[in-house]
């Protein structure tokens, strides 16, 4: 096996790209940001996060933050939706506004040659959105169309049913886009209130990468964000996990059942997070060679893909997974997942699996830093997670430090085969809801 | 902007700005392997891709899906590596690998630290000629592909509708056959089908190597000679002559209804010109036409006319153009009607917008704004060296050259409103189009 030998001789750890220098920038007005300067291409990628997201919806206004976010670029200041889009496209800038469970994300790319105009335009969208009645109706129609499609998408249904059972009345238990009824009933006042609640200076995280220096970035941030209200809505409470182990079948006419499975997870700042991360990678990392992929796809051909992941959110932690398998075979696949969960909890992992996974995780980490867009996005995510600015340099050491014993201990504590719950959307043969 | 409906969209615009032309070199090995090197020293990463000039449209009749099935089987073993060892080795080096199949090409790639390029070439060269697989491998992987088809197509009425529409768009060309294959034919694919396809088409004289990232072209040439240089070409490689379309003389219309459809829509797709080497002007005009009619979800003509105003007819309206095919391109229109608007009304409104455009021509300001955007797109696209590698690989397996790729941005910028109108008049002929209605189950009775 010549090739294998050649592979083993190559060192596996890569230094993080030498010229990634992360600067800690504080604007004159007090806004913090992380910056990686890179002047090869004449544009800047800017990433902003407002913590809270759709979980900040007020009582009786489910979907308001989502609808509000969709309206930010549909008219602002003196510009209506058409005028705003023409101005943005004329500058060749690109803005995106995306709501999620824990944050409203803003991504912007703009050219150096018209940076000031692009930032002024983005400021209008964030600070002075118009929320015109016709725009509200138009975007509401788009949200309702999306909800109607989701309601007939087995993969979406499995996620929604799982969340509802796991988190009940907490915002994590329902779709942040709202229900057709709640969205239909949203008023302009509720949208305006959602804007004040979600986009405030007390919850901002910023990262930039590209053709801009620290001083210019500081001035830019004050102009862009300085006029937002100082304080937004309070964060929701912790979400209590309400789900026991078992199976829930949702009858749906489809040849292939869609499955979501999960249990409680682990906090991002838990000292055992890294062993847990490595453990999940071995058990269900979405790559070839993970235990779930090997058993369910490679050996038996029961699915096109299966994976599991740790999801440490702001108010709850879960460990989730998903796959799809024909109605005739989904029962067998579920049994295999349970068995791998049980076996891994009982026995831990092998030294070979641990080594191969560590080399993959440490070797692939630096490859993520390959462009202004990806770098800005990674840096803003790090800040949201409360990680220190030197994290990219120390992260691989933390992976390296994980021992076989760590993984075994964490596997025993974290993996709960009897608590694993499966939601199956389809017409599975020989699988029924329990209790 | 929230949620655009995923219609059968184009494969993406291909743009580059001459002022920033990337450092690209290309050469050919004596066994026929074409090589393209794209230098980007910003990060110590390399993308290594091998593109074969063979895809789903080159399959023998009755064996649909074999190109894609073979792509899966390429991750089994060779005379030097066991099944699964290829990906395991890439991952043990901290890299990622995968592959994809289209109608015109099949490509394999790894993304990895730049100093591991030599090993990637060694492994990829190994599996170009020395693939091995057992009957058991083939049986299991066929199940995986059937599950893939269930997941991607059969579970999604929009995907089934799009597959049926495409089949109706071609009277004779195999572009009408789905890449993944028809289920009844996938079920019959065997080890010999895969091997025979592999032995003929997987050869240096039918492949393009694309290396992009922090690399030195001279080093790449040395490594390519060492690993790929000794591979035997396929003698008498079949010429790439697929059955071509006869004149299309009759408009085709279809309806598809399914209880799982939540959001009905109407789609229309016309056969269109493709980019041809040294003659990309018409494709460039069609690219701008698609942007004018339905590129931006706010300011394009279809969006403006159908989504705005006091009684909007549509939730979404869009146009797209795919000029990347070897034999034929596609120009599409789609409208998702607003609540209470029938598919017939939506289609009529869409046609009215096109008819008015043919009469009045493009707005000068729209025309300029789109050109500005197309130019700037290039600066942004350069942030992604993977994307550049794919741009060259796709072009070189569909009859274009490095020079064509590099000329494309200038060709786009040179397009005149008259050329767009000429392309539009040529294009909008319903005899060369398929119109489809995706419907809810009960809708068919009422309409």
Question: Based on the domain organization, do A333 and A213 belong to the same domain?
Answer: no
d(CA A212, CA A36): 9
Question: Based on the domain organization, do A415 and A302 belong to the same domain?
Answer: yes
Question: Based on the domain organization, do A335 and A418 belong to the same domain?
Answer: yes
Please indicate whether, in this complex, the C-beta atoms of A297 and B144 are within 8 angstroms of each other: yes
The question of whether B71 is a catalytic residue gets the answer yes
Chain B contact for A138, CB < 8 A? yes
B1 is a domain residue: no
Residue indicated by tokens 């050919």: B28
Question: Based on the domain organization, do B96 and B190 belong to the same domain?
Answer: yes
B170 Cβ contact partners less than 8 Å away, ≥ 6 residues apart: B176, B245, B328
Domain of B212: which CATH number?
3.30.830.10
A372 is a domain residue: yes
d(CA B295, CA B290): 6
Domain boundary among A225, A255, A280: A225
A414 is a domain residue: yes
Name which of A365, A370, A376, A378 to mutate to probe chain B: the one with the most chain B Cβ atoms within 10 A of its Cβ.
Answer: A370
- Considering only CB atoms, which chain B residues are within 8 Å of A96? 1
A194 is a domain residue: yes
Helix (H) or strand (E) holding B40: none
Domain of A320: which CATH number?
3.30.830.10
A301 is a domain residue: yes
Can you give the pLDDT at residue A152?
Answer: 93
Residue indicated by tokens 């964030």: A126
B242 is a domain residue: no
Which strands form A246-251's sheet, in the order they lie side by side? A246-251, A421-426, A256-264, A317-326, A306-312
Can you give the pLDDT at residue B245?
Answer: 96
Range of the domain at B278: 252-446
The proportion of chain B whose per-residue pLDDT surpasses 70, expressed as a percent, equals 94
The pLDDT tens digits for B279-315 are 999 999 999 999 999 998 899 999 999 999 889 999 9
Can you give the pLDDT at residue A406?
Answer: 97
Per the prediction, chain B carries an average pLDDT of 92
Q: Is there a contact between B281 and B419 (Cβ–Cβ < 8 Å)?
A: yes
Count of the separate structural domains present in chain A: 2
Q: What is the pTM of this model?
A: 0.91
A6 is a domain residue: no
Q: Shortest CA distance to A34 belongs to which of A369, A404, A433?
A: A369
Question: Based on the domain organization, do B219 and B258 belong to the same domain?
Answer: no
The pLDDT tens digits for B387-445 are 999 999 999 999 999 999 999 999 999 999 999 999 999 999 999 999 999 999 765 44
Q: CA geometry: angle at A188 spanning A185 and A191, to 5°?
A: 90
Decide if pLDDT at B19 tops 80: no
End-to-end CA, chain A: 53
Please indicate whether, in this complex, the C-beta atoms of A86 and B299 are within 8 angstroms of each other: yes
Max Cα-Cα span within chain A: 69
Tokens representing residue B301 in the block: 């003509």
Question: Based on the domain organization, do B205 and B92 belong to the same domain?
Answer: yes
B236 is a domain residue: no
B240 is a domain residue: no
Residue indicated by tokens 């108010």: A315
Question: Based on the domain organization, do B148 and B268 belong to the same domain?
Answer: no
Can you give the pLDDT at residue B443?
Answer: 56
d(CA B71, CA B49): 14
B244 is a domain residue: no
Question: Based on the domain organization, do B279 and B425 belong to the same domain?
Answer: yes
B373 by DSSP, 3-state: which?
A: helix
Residue indicated by tokens 């289920």: B183
- Considering only CB atoms, which chain A residues are within 8 Å of B261? 152
Question: Based on the domain organization, do B427 and B366 belong to the same domain?
Answer: yes
Domain boundary among B173, B196, B228: B228
Domain boundary among A177, A194, A225: A225
Question: Based on the domain organization, do B260 and B342 belong to the same domain?
Answer: yes
Name which of B93, B147, B297, B371 to mutate to probe chain A: the one with the most chain A Cβ atoms within 10 A of its Cβ.
Answer: B147
What is the separation of C-alpha B436 from the centre of its chain, rounded to a whole number of angstroms?
21
A9 is a domain residue: no
d(CA A334, CA A323): 10
Question: Based on the domain organization, do A325 and A408 belong to the same domain?
Answer: yes
Average of pLDDT values for B152-178? 96
B393 is a domain residue: yes
d(CA B386, CA B107): 13
| Confidence at B378, pLDDT banded by 50, 70, 90 | confident
Decide if pLDDT at B10 tops 60: no
Can you give the pLDDT at residue A287?
Answer: 81
Tokens representing residue A343 in the block: 């076996």
A7 is a domain residue: no
Chain B contact for A39, CB < 8 A? no
Helix (H) or strand (E) holding A259: strand A256-264
Question: Based on the domain organization, do B268 and B224 belong to the same domain?
Answer: no
Beta bridge partners of A37: A210
Decide if pLDDT at B271 tops 50: yes
Chain A contact for B387, CB < 8 A? no
Range of the domain at A179: 23-225
Chain A contact for B372, CB < 8 A? yes
B309 is a domain residue: yes
Question: Based on the domain organization, do B202 and B307 belong to the same domain?
Answer: no
d(CA B57, CA A385): 48
Count of the separate structural domains present in chain B: 2
Domain boundary among B169, B196, B228: B228
pLDDT one digit per residue (tens) for chain A, 435 residues? 233 333 323 223 334 444 578 999 999 999 999 999 999 899 999 999 999 999 999 999 999 999 999 999 999 999 999 999 999 999 999 999 999 999 999 999 999 999 999 999 999 999 999 999 999 999 999 999 999 999 999 999 999 999 999 999 999 999 999 999 999 999 999 999 999 999 999 999 999 999 999 999 999 999 999 999 999 999 999 999 999 999 999 999 999 999 999 999 999 999 999 999 999 999 999 788 899 999 999 999 999 999 999 999 999 999 999 999 999 999 999 999 999 999 999 999 999 999 999 999 998 998 888 889 999 999 999 999 999 999 998 999 999 999 999 999 999 999 999 999 999 999 999 999 986
Q: Are strands A246-251 and A421-426 parallel, antiparallel or unpaired?
A: parallel
Of A149, A258, A373, the CB nearest to B262: A149
- Considering only CB atoms, which chain B residues are within 8 Å of A255? 150, 154-155
Question: Based on the domain organization, do B147 and B288 belong to the same domain?
Answer: no
| Confidence at B22, pLDDT banded by 50, 70, 90 | low
Tokens representing residue A314 in the block: 């702001």
Domain boundary among B194, B228, B262: B228
- Considering only CB atoms, which chain A residues are within 8 Å of B88? 288-289, 356
Distance (Å) from the C-alpha of residue B3 to the closest C-alpha of chain A?
7
- Considering only CB atoms, which chain B residues are within 8 Å of A89? 296, 299, 369-370, 372-373
A60 is a domain residue: yes
Residue in chain A closest to B140 (alpha carbons) equals: A301
Decide if pLDDT at B316 tops 80: yes
The pLDDT tens digits for B33-68 are 999 999 998 888 999 999 999 999 999 999 999 999
Tokens representing residue A365 in the block: 């980490």
Question: Based on the domain organization, do A52 and A167 belong to the same domain?
Answer: yes
Please indicate whether, in this complex, the C-beta atoms of A143 and B312 are within 8 angstroms of each other: no
Cα four-point dihedral sign A307, A308, A314, A316 = positive
């Amino acid at each position: 096996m010549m090739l294998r030998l050649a592979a083993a001789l190559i060192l596996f750890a890569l230094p993080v790209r030498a010229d990634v220098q992360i600067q800690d920038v504080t604007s004159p007005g007090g806004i913090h940001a992380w910056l990686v300067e890179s002047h090869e291409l004449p544009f800047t990628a800017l990433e902003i996060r407002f913590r809270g997201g759709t979980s900040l919806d007020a009582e009786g206004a489910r979907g308001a933050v989502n609808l509000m976010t969709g309206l930010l670029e549909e008219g602002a200041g003196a510009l209506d939706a058409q005028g705003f889009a023409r101005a943005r496209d004329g500058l060749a800038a690109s803005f995106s506004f995306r709501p999620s469970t824990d944050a409203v994300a803003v991504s912007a790319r703009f050219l150096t040659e018209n940076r000031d105009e692009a930032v002024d335009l983005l400021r209008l969208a964030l600070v002075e959105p118009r929320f015109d009645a016709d725009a509200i109706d138009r975007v509401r129609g788009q949200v309702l169309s999306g909800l109607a499609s989701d309601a007939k998408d087995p993969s979406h249904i499995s996620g929604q049913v799982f969340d509802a059972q796991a988190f009940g009345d907490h915002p994590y238990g329902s779709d942040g886009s709202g229900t057709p009824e709640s969205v239909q009933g949203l008023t302009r006042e509720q949208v305006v209130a959602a804007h004040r609640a979600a986009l405030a200076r007390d919850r901002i995280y910023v990262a930039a990468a590209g053709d801009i220096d620290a001083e210019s970035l500081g001035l830019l941030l004050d102009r862009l964000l300085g006029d937002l209200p100082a304080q937004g809505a309070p964060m929701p409470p912790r979400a209590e996990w309400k789900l026991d182990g078992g199976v829930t079948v949702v009858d749906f006419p489809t040849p292939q059942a869609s499955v979501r499975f999960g249990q409680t997870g682990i906090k991002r700042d838990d000292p055992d997070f890294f062993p847990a991360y490595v453990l999940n990678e071995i058990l269900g990392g979405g790559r070839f060679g993970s235990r779930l992929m090997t058993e369910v796809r490679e050996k038996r051909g029961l699915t096109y893909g299966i994976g599991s992941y740790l999801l440490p959110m702001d108010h709850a932690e879960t460990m989730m997974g998903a796959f799809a398998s024909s109605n005739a075979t989904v029962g067998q696949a579920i049994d295999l997942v349970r068995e791998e969960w049980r076996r891994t909890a009982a026995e831990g992992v092998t030294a070979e699996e641990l080594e191969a996974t560590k080399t993959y995780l440490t070797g692939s980490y630096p490859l993520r830093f390959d462009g202004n867009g990806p770098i800005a996005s990674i840096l803003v995510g790090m800040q949201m997670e409360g990680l220190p600015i030197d994290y990219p340099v120390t992260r691989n050491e933390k992976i390296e430090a994980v021992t076989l014993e760590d993984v075994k201990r964490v596997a025993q504590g974290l993996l709960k085969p009897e608590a694993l719950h499966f939601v199956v959307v389809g017409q599975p043969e020989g699988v029924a809801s329990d209790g | 902007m929230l949620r655009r409906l995923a219609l059968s969209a184009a494969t993406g615009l291909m743009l580059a700005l001459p002022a920033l032309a990337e450092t690209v070199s290309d050469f050919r090995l004596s066994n026929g392997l074409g090589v393209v090197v794209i230098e980007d020293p910003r990060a110590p990463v390399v993308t290594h891709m091998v593109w074969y000039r063979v895809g789903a449209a080159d399959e023998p009749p009755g064996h649909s899906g074999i190109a894609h099935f073979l792509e899966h089987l390429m991750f089994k073993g060779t005379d030097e590596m066991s099944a699964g060892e290829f990906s395991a080795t890439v991952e043990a080096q901290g890299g990622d690998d995968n592959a994809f199949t289209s109608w015109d090409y099949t490509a394999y790639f790894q993304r990895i630290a730049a100093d591991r390029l030599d090993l990637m070439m060694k492994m990829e060269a190994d599996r170009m000629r020395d693939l091995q697989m057992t009957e058991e491998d083939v049986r299991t992987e066929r199940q995986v592909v059937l599950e893939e088809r269930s997941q991607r197509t059969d579970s999604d009425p929009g995907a089934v509708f799009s597959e049926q529409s495409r089949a109706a768009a071609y009277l004779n060309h195999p572009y009408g056959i789905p890449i993944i294959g028809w289920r009844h034919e996938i079920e019959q694919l065997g080890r010999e089908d895969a091997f025979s396809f592999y032995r003929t088409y997987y050869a240096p004289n039918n492949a393009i190597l694309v290396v992009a990232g922090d690399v030195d072209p001279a080093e790449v040439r040395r490594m390519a000679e060492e690993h790929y240089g000794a591979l035997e070409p396929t003698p008498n490689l079949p010429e790439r002559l697929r059955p071509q379309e006869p004149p299309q003389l009759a408009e085709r219309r279809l309806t598809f209804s399914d209880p799982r459809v939540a959001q009905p829509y109407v789609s229309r797709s016309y056969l269109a010109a493709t980019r041809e080497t040294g003659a990309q002007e018409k494709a460039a005009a069609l690219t701008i036409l698609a942007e004018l009619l339905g590129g931006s979800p706010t300011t394009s003509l279809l969006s403006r006319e159908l989504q705005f105003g006091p009684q909007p007819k549509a939730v979404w309206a869009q146009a797209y153009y795919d000029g990347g095919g070897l034999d034929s391109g596609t120009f599409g229109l789609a409208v998702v009607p607003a609540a209470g608007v029938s598919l017939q009304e939506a289609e009529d409104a869409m046609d009215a917008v096109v008819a008015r455009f043919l009469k009045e021509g493009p707005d000068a300001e729209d025309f300029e704004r789109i050109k500005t955007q197309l130019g700037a797109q290039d600066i942004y696209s350069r942030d992604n060296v993977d994307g550049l590698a794919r741009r060259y690989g796709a072009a070189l397996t569909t009859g274009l050259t490095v020079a064509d790729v590099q000329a494309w941005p200038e060709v786009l910028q040179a397009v005149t409103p008259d050329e767009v109108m000429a392309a539009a008049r040529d294009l909008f002929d319903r005899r060369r189009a398929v119109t489809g209605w995706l419907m809810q189950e009960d809708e068919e009775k009422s309409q």
